[in-house]
Amino acid sequence: MSVAIDWMAFVNVFLVALLGACLIVTFYAIGLRLLVRAGRIPVVSPAEFTDAITILSEKQAKRAAKQAAKAERKSPLTEGQKQVALVGAYACFALCALAVIAGILIIVVGH
C-alpha cells in the first residue's frame, strides 16, 4: 500500500496560509497605528488571572490612560486628518475580518 502526496496542493495551502497571515498582521498593525494617530489610543485595563501575575497594576493603568490623554491633546493632526485616520483604521480592521472570513469560507466551501 502506497500513499501518494500531492505536493503542489501542500505548497498551495502553505503559500495561501502564509500570505493570509501576513495580510492579517499587516492590516492589523496599520489599523492600530492609524487608530493611535487618530487620537484613540487603546488602553487595556489590567487583567486578573487566578494563580497568575497581573500584567499591570491599577496605578500603572491609570498612568497609561493619563499619558494617552496627554498624547491625544498634543496630536499635531487637524480634526479632519484625525477623522481620515480613524476611518482608515476601521477599514484596516474590516479587511482583517474579511481575510479571516475568507479563510474560513475557503476551508469550509473550498474543501
Q: What is the pLDDT of residues 63-82, one digit of tens each?
A: 877 877 777 677 677 888 88
Q: Is residue 94 part of a domain?
A: yes
User: Looking at the structure, do residues 86 and 105 belong to the same domain, yes or no?
Assistant: yes
Hey, what's the cell of 107? 476551508
Q: Please list the ranges in the chain whose pLDDT falls under 70.
A: 43-56, 72, 75, 110-111
Range of the domain at 69: 43-74
* b/e sequence 25-54, b meaning 16+ C-beta within 10 Å: eebeebbeebbbbbbebeeeeeeeeeeeee
89 and 67 in one domain? no
5: in domain: no
Pair 87, 109 in one domain: yes
Evaluate if pTM is beyond 0.75: no
If asked whether residues 87 and 108 sit together in one domain, one would say yes
| Judgement on whether residues 33 and 83 belong to the same structural domain of the protein | yes
Q: What's the confidence (pLDDT) of residue 53? A: 59
